[in-house]
Structure 1
């Protein structure tokens, strides 16, 4: 009889990835999140990998610590039905299609520190023009 390795449930993996995404965006370490939850950083790692399922009360606490609604952790999940109407929070607007990389996180943090709306707008225009130029080069190849 072969021993099967138990794979994490896709929902748990998605929720864990969203926890990691938000934690990283806030610049919070696994240790700090663990302290706030009363668990070890190893437990936070297991939540983020989806190997340990996050219970409802713990997910609520994580949402409070990371300053997002619980529904944030289910946004973008494609493997099943959308969250029930009661779980959706229409006023919450979070980016779900954002490419997560070290550079994108650094860019987001630095951009958030810029107070002048005119400077922010100019930076956005610059980034858009660079992206468009790169897309045009890609199409020409």
Structure 2
């Protein structure tokens, strides 16, 4: 749709997204919901209870199987103490293409890290514990120790 002056409207720019691209956005948003919930140490049961949902429905949101409505995203932002925009931080729409999933996969492949690594509870717990260490020198020592252990033969 073009405006009277011949410029492209917002509706036209975003209307060109494919189902695959929209599904990638749903997965990215759901992944952010899960990440934030885990960072706060909340269970699916606790969050779903406040939302008035089953934990299975929350699981479907977190995996991007079911799309989250705007009002539900707003509710989640209140429960998870973050702005609604947080859920879209990994989504980038450029020229009608969703770049978030491609960028995430490229980074994971480049580092030879499984793409779902940040979705694992232990990874999030490790990151949380690491940044809970106040002094930079101590964090650097822990990092050096982990690298040494990782290189050691099993």
Taking structure 2 as the reference length, the TM-score comes to 0.58
Gaps of 5+ in 1: 1-5, 82-96
Provide the rounded CA distance (Å) in 2 between the counterparts of 1:131 and 1:74.
32
Per the alignment, residue 39 of structure 1 pairs with: 53
The alignment status of 1:72 with 2:91, answered yes or no, reads no
Contact 2:33 2:87 in 1 (8 A): yes
Shift of 1:75: 0.6
Taking structure 1 as the reference length, the TM-score comes to 0.63
Contact 2:130 2:139 in 1 (8 A): no
Q: 2:32 aligns with which of 10, 14, 18?
A: 18
Distance 1:51 1:103, change over 3 A: closer
The alignment status of 1:56 with 2:70, answered yes or no, reads yes
Gaps of 5+ in 2: 1-18, 95-107, 109-116
Provide the rounded CA distance (Å) in 1 between the counterparts of 2:43 and 2:121.
15
User: How many residues end up aligned between the 2 structures?
Assistant: 110
Per the alignment, residue 93 of structure 1 pairs with: none
Provide the rounded CA distance (Å) in 2 between the counterparts of 1:108 and 1:71.
22
